């Protein structure tokens, strides 16, 4: 049976926070549209987060339009289930079609064609909402690892009990890697952490949460156009945790908790692992970035004449007298390593986009969410317009601008 066809003014692809926010504003503008979601509302939050996952941003940073949470439902650091419940409430009354897997997006004489297994949508505008960090990046060296070692990634990790008996190697010490390593160690598992070059900030400093200071300093409102070093767009978020009320995570703290720190994993051949001799540099970089953040806050407090407690330090950041000197070669069998968890980042999931708008990294080319193809937009991506674009703090502003752009174009037709 041939797929049915349906004309619609705008198709929004993805019912996470970005797609729902666009839908909210399109609804307010009276613009006809439909939101297509491959799974359930907020599917990535449901199926690509571990069981104990919490946001690292405090509740006040969740800024979705029109969302009024009842008292007691906006915790400092929301859990995975609280986020999905929030998105369910937000989606109420919006034209969302769940369980609708978009297979292709093409462009033709009738505008854009969005195809699912049993349906075609013909639209004048399409919003690619989310998916910017959906597909785990697994380094090619993973293929050389002995097959006796179970491999998974941060999106498939669930809890310590789900890992096979034996030692666990976590590859990557960004937010996911550090938090997962901490959870595994707290559960009594033997953990090795192959570190990476990632910044760290204290959870709280001079009486306030670090995100509160960052927002007041304007860091999340820094525009993409103002960035002079393209490498900054690939810089991971500083390591923090929202678990147990929120706390600082430092590599030295993990080491004191029993996690064995290693350099970056650079090669795997059967049971043999090769690691870079960069652990001291990785630890020094994290320490330097934390110190730099404190200096920025101190300067701001002095400049603005703010009342604030004196400078303080988090005990978990206490440095070692000397940095560890881990081996550069390991044998997984000799070490008893039974599983590896890849926490090495994510890339866009855009294989279904059959419009020549994708760059080499799979992300659509755009300027503040507007692509070179009239009527094709993107939102929910990191650095879409500002540093805060890819998180719940900044998604609404981008969504409002995109929806306004669509509504204005519709009015001109």
C-alpha to C-alpha distance for 15 and 134, rounded to whole angstroms: 13
Contact 310, 206 (CB under 8 A): yes
**396 in the same domain as 271:** no
DSSP 200: B
pLDDT digits over 37-95, tens only?
999 999 999 999 999 999 999 999 998 998 765 555 567 899 999 999 999 999 999 99
User: How confident is the prediction for the chain on average, in pLDDT?
Assistant: 94
C-alpha to C-alpha distance for 276 and 344, rounded to whole angstroms: 15
Contact 289, 306 (CB under 8 A): no
Q: Report how far Cα 274 is from the mean position of its chain's Cα atoms.
A: 28
**269 in the same domain as 235:** yes
Angle at 380 between CA 387 and CA 406, to 5 degrees: 115
Residue 142 — very low, low, confident or very high, per pLDDT cuts 50/70/90?
Answer: very high
Average pLDDT (383-400) is: 95
**303 in the same domain as 172:** yes
**33 in the same domain as 162:** no
What local confidence, expressed as pLDDT, does residue 110 receive? 78
What local confidence, expressed as pLDDT, does residue 130 receive? 77
What local confidence, expressed as pLDDT, does residue 69 receive? 59
Contact 377, 398 (CB under 8 A): no
Q: Which secondary structure element, helix H or strand E, spans residue 194, and what is its range? A: strand 191-194
Tell me how many domains the chain contains. 2
Average pLDDT (89-113) is: 94
CATH number reported for the structural domain that contains residue 36 in this entry: 3.50.50.60
Residue with tokens 């937000």: 90
Tell me: pLDDT of 185 over 80: yes
Tell me: pLDDT of 158 over 80: yes
C-alpha to C-alpha distance for 10 and 216, rounded to whole angstroms: 36
Three-class HEC string of 320-350: CCCCCCCCCEEEHHHHCEEEEEECCCEECCC
Q: What is the Cα gyration radius of the chain?
A: 23
* Domain limit, last residue, from 299, 321, 342: 342
CB atoms within 10 A of CB 163: 21
**306 in the same domain as 174:** yes
Tell me: pLDDT of 1 over 50: no
Residue with tokens 């994993």: 265
Ramachandran bin of 120, using left for φ above 0, alpha for ψ from -120 to 50, beta for the remaining angles: beta
* Domain limit, last residue, from 324, 342, 360: 342
Question: Which range marks the domain in which residue 177 is found?
Answer: 137-342
Average pLDDT (296-322) is: 94
CA dihedral sign, ordered 236, 162, 77, 287: negative
Instruction: Identify any residues that bridge with 104 across adjacent strands, giving them in sequence order.
Output: 115
**208 in the same domain as 123:** no
Percent of the chain predicted with pLDDT > 90: 88
Contact 103, 352 (CB under 8 A): yes
**143 in the same domain as 81:** no
pLDDT digits over 238-278, tens only?
999 999 999 999 999 999 999 999 999 999 999 999 999 99
* Domain limit, last residue, from 342, 372, 394: 342
Percent of the chain predicted with pLDDT > 70: 97
**171 in the same domain as 100:** no
What local confidence, expressed as pLDDT, does residue 72 receive? 59
**330 in the same domain as 181:** yes
**149 in the same domain as 274:** yes
Q: Would the pTM count as exceeding 0.85?
A: yes
**201 in the same domain as 249:** yes
**272 in the same domain as 148:** yes
Strands 119-129 and 111-116, bridge-based pairing: antiparallel
What local confidence, expressed as pLDDT, does residue 323 receive? 85
């Amino acid at each position: 049976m041939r797929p049915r066809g349906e004309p619609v003014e705008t198709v929004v692809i993805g019912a996470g926070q970005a797609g729902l926010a666009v839908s909210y504003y399109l609804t307010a503008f009276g613009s006809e549209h439909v939101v297509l979601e491959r799974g359930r509302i907020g599917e990535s939050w449901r199926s690509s987060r571990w069981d104990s996952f919490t946001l690292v941003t405090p509740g006040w940073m969740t800024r979705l339009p029109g969302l009024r949470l009842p008292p007691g439902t906006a915790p400092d650091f929301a859990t995975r289930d609280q986020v999905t419940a929030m998105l369910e409430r937000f989606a109420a009354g919006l034209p969302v079609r769940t369980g609708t897997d978009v297979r292709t997006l093409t462009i033709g004489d009738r505008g854009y064609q969005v195809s699912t297994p049993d349906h075609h949508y013909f639209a004048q505008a399409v919003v690619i909402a989310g998916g910017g960090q959906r597909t785990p990046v697994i380094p090619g060296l993973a293929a050389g690892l002995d097959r006796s070692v179970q491999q998974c990634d941060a999106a498939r990790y669930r809890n310590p009990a789900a890992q096979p008996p034996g030692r666990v190697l976590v590859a990557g010490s960004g937010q996911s890697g550090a938090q997962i390593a901490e959870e595994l160690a707290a559960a009594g598992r033997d953990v090795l952490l192959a570190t990476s070059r990632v910044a760290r900030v204290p959870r709280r400093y001079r009486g306030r949460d670090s995100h509160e200071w960052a927002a007041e300093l304007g860091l999340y409102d820094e525009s993409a156009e103002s960035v002079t070093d393209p490498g900054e767009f690939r810089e991971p978020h500083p390591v923090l945790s929202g678990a147990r009320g929120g706390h600082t995570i430092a590599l030295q703290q993990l080491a004191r908790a029993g996690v064995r720190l290693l350099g970056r994993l650079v090669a795997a051949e059967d049971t043999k692992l090769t690691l870079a001799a960069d652990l001291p540099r990785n630890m020094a970089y994290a320490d330097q970035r934390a110190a730099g953040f404190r200096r920025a806050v101190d300067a701001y407090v002095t400049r603005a004449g703010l009342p604030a407690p004196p400078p303080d330090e988090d005990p978990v950041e206490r440095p070692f007298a000397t940095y560890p000197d881990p081996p550069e070669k390991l044998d997984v069998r000799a070490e008893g390593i039974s599983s590896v968890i890849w926490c090495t980042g994510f890339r866009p999931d855009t294989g279904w986009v059959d419009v020549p708008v994708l760059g080499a990294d799979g992300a659509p080319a755009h300027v503040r969410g507007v692509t070179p193809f009239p009527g094709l937009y993107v939102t929910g991506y990191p650095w879409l317009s500002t540093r805060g674009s890819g998180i719940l703090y900044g998604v609404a502003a981008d969504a409002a601008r995109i929806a306004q752009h669509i509504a204005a174009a519709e009015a001109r037709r």
